[in-house]
Amino acid sequence: MFRKVNKIKRMIASFSSFLRAFALGQLWRKFLYGKNYIRVVNYHDTPAVDKTNLEKQFKFLRDHYEPVAEKDLEQFLKSGKWTKSRPGLVLSFDDGLYSNYQYAAPLLDKYGLTGWFFVPTGLISSEKSSSVELAKKGTVQFNLPDPDVPLFMSWKDLNHLKEKHVIGSHTVNHIRLGHNLDDTQLKYEILSSKKVLEEKLACEISSFCWVGGEESSYSRRGAQFIKEAGYQFSFMTNSQVVRFKKTDPLKIQRTNIESHWSLSLLKFQLSGLMDVKYFFKRKRVNQVTNV
């Protein structure tokens, strides 16, 4: 996993913390929207070395947001109804890594948070000997795994998680759905992953998450097949809060966070400054994925 943080970004995060950018951003959003909005964040690997830091992050998120399940998101987007005392939080984890199950999930339960786990079905239950190669082939970011611990979750792990948390599709092979894929490949990655998850977990899979955040990882045909597959929600990674009548359920934006980041960097990511940074990219991606 790539654990280095850009030095300039660290400096900006420290300066924004000094200026209380997160608190000011929260006040500004409260003035604009009250508490009626949802912030969506995403993690990747959550290894043992980051457990203490991850717990600090979860404590902070618990203290500032309310957990959101699929039914909460559905109700909010359909009716605007939000009865909780603070803004909502969709806390998502990409790639089906075992570290999410081993370390993040127990902390989620400890702090009463809801996790959304987006998994590539082709990597679940991979043999240890081949899982690292599969991860590299699918460009999954990860720490060097403990040789005695699997890299990816098993179907048993996912069946356990689904009792309290949300499971969603993240394609079959963790592949970007750009213009380089033909319709057959797109259908396989988008539709087959949903079918396999529903068969293995015996529950409806309503949420999909695009792989990658680059503009080239999105395509109109990909968006069309996501819609045709019957997903209720589709997640991207271009940083913007979810609002009633303003957010397309198939274009929900997330803000990236990693488990080794400092609280000052986490606050910077959630301050709203990243929403501004991604404004033009978000517009371009939304245009590309209009169906």
Please give the DSSP secondary-structure letter assigned to residue 242: B
- Segment among 10-19, 45-54, 109-118, 204-213 with least mean pLDDT: 10-19
Contact present, 218 and 285 (Cβ < 8 Å): yes
CB 115 within 8 A of CB 99: no
Domain boundaries, the chain: 7-288
* pLDDT at residue 127 greater than cutoff 60: no
- For position 1, what pLDDT does the model report? 44
Q: What phi and psi values does residue 194 have, to the nearest 5 degrees? A: -65, -45
Question: Tokens 């699997």 identify what position?
Answer: 150
pLDDT at 138 over 80: no
User: Which pLDDT tens digit goes with each residue over 155-182?
Assistant: 999 999 999 999 999 999 999 999 999 9
In the chain, % helix, strand, coil (3-state, to 5) comes to 50, 15, 40
Higher pLDDT, 144 or 279: 279
**DSSP result, 143-177:** PPPPTTS-SB--HHHHHHHTTTSEEEE--SS----
Q: What is the pLDDT of residue 68?
A: 98
Name the nearest CA neighbour of 208 among 219, 193, 221, 220.
193
What average pLDDT does this structure show over 33-45?
A: 96
Instruction: With a cut of 80, say whether residue 148 has pLDDT above it.
Output: no
Q: What is the three-class DSSP state of 91?
A: strand
Number of CB atoms found within 10 A of residue 86's CB = 14
Q: Is pLDDT at 89 greater than 80 in this prediction? A: yes
**What is residue 150's predicted lDDT score, i.e. its pLDDT?**
82
pLDDT at 134 over 60: no
Distance of CA 135 to the CA centre of its chain: 18
Burial of 79 (0-12, 13-18, 19+ CB in 10 A): exposed
Contacts of 123 (CB under 8 A, 6+ apart): 95, 96, 131, 134, 135, 138, 140, 152, 173, 174
Considering only residues 140 and 162, tell me which one the structure prediction assigns the higher pLDDT: 162
Query: What tens digit of pLDDT does each residue of 266-279 get?
Result: 999 999 999 999 99
Of 34 and 145, the one with more pLDDT: 34
CB atoms within 10 A of CB 21: 20
Q: Which residue has the higher pLDDT, 144 or 47?
A: 47
Say if CB 110 and CB 136 are below 8 A apart: no
How far is it, in rounded angstroms, from Cα 234 to Cα 208? 5
Q: What is the mean pLDDT of residues 132-144?
A: 61
pLDDT at 149: 77
pLDDT surpasses 50 at 189: yes
Report the topology of domain 7-288: TIM Barrel (3.20.20)
Distance (Å, whole) CA 174 – CA 268: 28
